[in-house]
Structure 1
Amino acid sequence: MTSQSNHQTAHIPKKEGQSKAVWAVFFACIIAFMGLGLVDPILPAIAGQLHATPSEVTLLFTSYNAVMAIAMLITGVISTKLGTKVTLLVGVVIIALFSTLGGLSNNVWAIVGLRGGWGLGNALFVATALTAIVTLSKSGTAKAIILYEAAIGLGISVGPLLGGELGSISWRGPFIGVGVLMVIAFIFLITLMPNTKKQEAAQRPATSSSSILDPFRAMKHRSIVVFGLTACFYNFGFFTLLAYAPFVMGLDAHGIGYVFIGWGVLLAITSVFMAPKLQKRFGTVNSMCVMLTTFAVVLLVMGIWSHTQWVIIAAVIFAGALLGNNNTLITTAVMNAAPIERSTASAAYSFLRFLGGAIAPYLAGKLAEWFSPHVPFIVGGCFVLISVIFVLMNRHHVNHVDSVEAGH
């Protein structure tokens, strides 16, 4: 795992001269996002061993994303009070605690509840980590976001391998594994990242005050709402693929892990190397719409050929390339969308996008139970197409994001 991470990170340009604080957050992000990939290969195993239906197991994603969406509204206030470093550490501790407790549970409903606590920790970590990397980076917003998305891709790509190995022993292994990895992340942050609370306070305008209402006030900027709702609809497709595809692959934990390794590697590579080139040549909104449209087509293909194993496997892996591009494009766009603090913009956007991530997994499981395994993917694809239509209808509110980045 370590050698693979080091091999991948070696491709990130060193000439950027990032500080130790940025690299500490970067490596902590890799470990944090391993948690997502670690759990994915064991979803069918949890359903089988705890006698749960697919829709009940997908609630592990629903409770996680629902709590994360709501918690995003308070991350700015907490970060202002505690400072970036302490907020990151608190998030890591919460993730470690609830993931370990989940691994020790014997009831699917207890795990669903504990995943909600995990979502709280992840909200504190994810929102603050993005803001920390963008703020502390010496290379501008675009390159900082590429670094952040690279950490996500690396974590997701390495996680399934470890999740498949641990999951083949017991479904509890990946949950406890996340707890152990969070301890490592805690050590990275507490030793390498300086406490910047005083500097953050000094840099904050005297008239600035953090409020729980700030993310709602941020939504008066139409561009934030447009990108947030676009991501909300897009996440219906993203989490349908992530939460429901394992149930139709017909593979064990090892096999699912290997499929999602391919998915995550393509996600990491495209988010770092391809997305910036697309953005520069075709523009952020144009590139985003092409990636989303292609992803919608992939989901529709999965819906039509749900019982053809090789189609599902190939589609999941190929989708990683589309998602890596889109994640970098839309995150960059949000950071440049409105003349407000990045932490506030991130909180407002994340609240909207994770609402889709909360509804989609459970809806996918229920649609399969009510109708057939084909329907979740078709519905997910339709929601992704809606996201394209929505952003195009509101294009005049978001076209400025390219000119903002060009001015950096």
Structure 2
Amino acid sequence: MKILYDFVFLIFILISLPVYLLKGKFHRGFSRRLGFLPNDLPSDRPIWIHAVSVGEVVLMRGLISRLRSSYPSKSFVISTVTPTGNKIARSLAENSDFITYLPFDLSFITDRVMRKVRPCIFIIAETEIWPNLISSLYSIKVPIAVLNARISDKSFKGYSAIKYLIKPVLNKIHVFCAQSKNDRDRLISLGVDPERIEVTASMKFDQARKLSEGVNSSKDKLSLKEGEVLLVAGSTHPGEERILLNIYRKLLGAFPYLRLLLAPRHPDRADKIAALVRHFGFKPSRISLFQPKEALKDTVFILDTVGELISFYAAADIVFVGGSLVKKGGQNILEPASLGKPVIFGPHMFNFRDIAAEFLGSKAALQALTPKDLLLIIKDLLENKGRTIELARNSKEVILKNQGATEKSLGLVRKLIV
């Protein structure tokens, strides 16, 4: 089985190489994915944390801090897959830590790397299942923990198709800290021993509250006038900006004091969005180029920088969270909610189903099933200040009620560290 998997994965890598070349995805750390490591690795059986990209690295920040306090003599290995995630990981590292890229899931690579590093525990953020990596760790008796575990609709469908192949791999993982009962049920359905699963809730609630503390609003950067109201559309995807601009144009007649900021999920789309803004008759103003004293008439702001969205959420009066009007599964609503903002999202929240359901059930967020719904909801919030205050209060209560997943996960991890 291992030989067949290695063969298929190797063919996949070889096919992908031209794509990597064309897209410029080769980077200085690429050799790490092939298993080439420096000689000066941590020799104290380090704590290895794998976080695929930026979101997962940020999610692990609180846990890393707590683990450092509990195990001050331990070094950390933090692996990512993306260069952007790797950059964030470096900002969390101390002198004795090693920041790297996850080795390709070929047994002759994962065996060599894990035997060389010999971590005392391997922690996976969210749910990435790499059969050879997991088997290599299991063979040298390194405990494995999956934190903030979630099984998406797409993953569940894929794993279910190979259930009898994936079941032995999943049961080599010592503990799954599941986000919800639904995730627990799906793991059990895939053959995981129920004794290996604990429902700890989502660590994103802890993360959101922590990020919201001390956030400085970017409202002054926009030179908004007294009485003007800012609608921030965060993490938008292609197709959503057109809907939002159409709604904004319709609302301006009755609410001339309304201002719009579009924050695309991928800031490199800023040029295309600027062209779309012009098509609707507005003046695009990119945040990276904006002059504070620019006139605001007919201006639509475009957030084209990385890492500033939360400060513009703090500046917002109303927030729409994207990836939800189109079938992308939604984006994280917890950051604006933790800041006490009225939050709206669309019908497609399947990647955040449990969180969305909790907010809706607590009357802490609003869901627009259609573009017309979205227009009417924004109109109602602009006309009804009491409604926005109620949503803000309820959203903060939901955030507070769901604190503690990091602490619960930490308790389970401590039991495994050897």
Higher normalized contact order (CA 8 Å, seq sep 6+, divided by chain length): 1
Q: Same fold (TM over 0.5)?
A: no
Bigger Rg over Cα: 2
Q: TM-score, normalised by structure 2?
A: 0.27
Greater share of helix residues, 1 or 2? 1
